[in-house]
Amino acid sequence: MILGNLLFSPSLFSGAARYSNFWGKDLTASHHLANSFRPAFWLPGRHLQTILPTLLPGPPLGAVQESRLVEVLPGSRIRILISRPPGAARGTVILLHGLGGSADSGYLRRTARMALQRGWVAVRVNLRNCGGTEALSQTLYNAGQSEDAGRVLEELGSAGFPRPFGVVGFSLGGNLALRYAGLAGPDCRANAIVGVNPPVNLEACVKCLEEPCNSIYHAYFTWKLCRLLRRIRTNRPVPGPDPNPRAIRSVRRFDTLYTAPDGGFSSAEQYYRQASSGPHLKSLRVPTLVLSALNDPFVPAGIFDENGQAGSRYLRLLLPSSGGHVGYWQSGAPRFWAGKVALDFLEEATLPSGPSIS
């Protein structure tokens, strides 16, 4: 039964039916995943739904936090923050933040807290140079570094962390998680994947950012990127001009001057093509959910119909009519609806008992 304002493309719906038959359980009809999203009354429209939740502090996790370093390349490490629930764990969920975020981003902390309450080990990942780790990496962060997710999964597996393993990526972290799973195919080390508002076509999303109506987001991301690069330069040299936001002025120009050359790409456009996860979604071989609001200001819903990824038997797409970009602040509890949907999906896809909290 499909409830509320969640939309499914016909090809996606049939793909989900094949997927449910493959796994022997009816995820298509699940009321847990099809529960409609109702934004808080004081958050009308895409911009308030996107901006205001980011201003709200993340909750305390109520668990002892363990910090570990994971080597992703020779000379480059990332820091992961591990929180464990009391008692035996149901599994391990790995959380990846978006552009300009960190392991302490509010949406990561909210999802981690819900995961701990459900009995999951929560692993929050600081991607390269993020969360005060500028001195740990010899490269800049980019959206194509999907092998970092694989290295974290490999490290957790070697350390004996409880399975199943679920990966939830938000925004650019969602693209990274999906790209990893698509490229890994049957060798994916995760048991299930969730991408929340993932920019699976980076070129299309950057073009949306460049529209006048999105100037506030464009300026914000450009400022965040320039500020991060200045912090990195206090630890090591990075080629290119001074990262002054007033001179750089755009994400595309930042990527042209810094991200693309650092990653070995000939241009920002080549970087966007090769780092996008969209072309790889057809190769998914684990249960995967993509959740993205139709009113996301700069991740257009049309990108999920490209490349035939809707036909993947492993891919499920949920498109609520509202929620903004990784906002999803609802009128009832839990406030962060996307975190609940992500965990419901992981539990239905990997655990015999299904969701522990309805």
pLDDT tens digits, one per residue of 248-288: 999 999 999 999 999 999 999 999 999 999 999 999 999 99
**pLDDT of res. 272:** 98
Task: Break the chain into its structural domains and give their ranges.
Answer: 6-195+282-350, 202-275
**pLDDT of res. 353:** 67
CATH architecture, domain 6-195+282-350? 3-Layer(aba) Sandwich (3.40)
In this structure, are residues 275 and 254 in contact, taking their beta carbons and an 8 Å threshold? Answer: no
Alpha helical stretches, state H, the chain? 10-23, 46-55, 106-117, 147-158, 172-184, 202-209, 215-232, 245-248, 251-254, 260-263, 268-275, 337-350
Q: Is the pLDDT of residue 92 over 60?
A: yes
- Nearest one of 58, 80, 50 to 196, comparing CA atoms: 50
What is this structure's pTM? 0.90
Of the pLDDT bands very low, low, confident and very high (cuts 50, 70, 90), residue 36 is confident
Q: Give the Å distances, CA to CA, from 5 to 20, 120, 260, 312, 323.
A: 22, 29, 39, 23, 11
Distance CA 224, CA 99 (A): 9
**Amino acid making up residue 313:** R
Alpha-carbon torsion (173, 175, 178, 183), positive or negative: negative
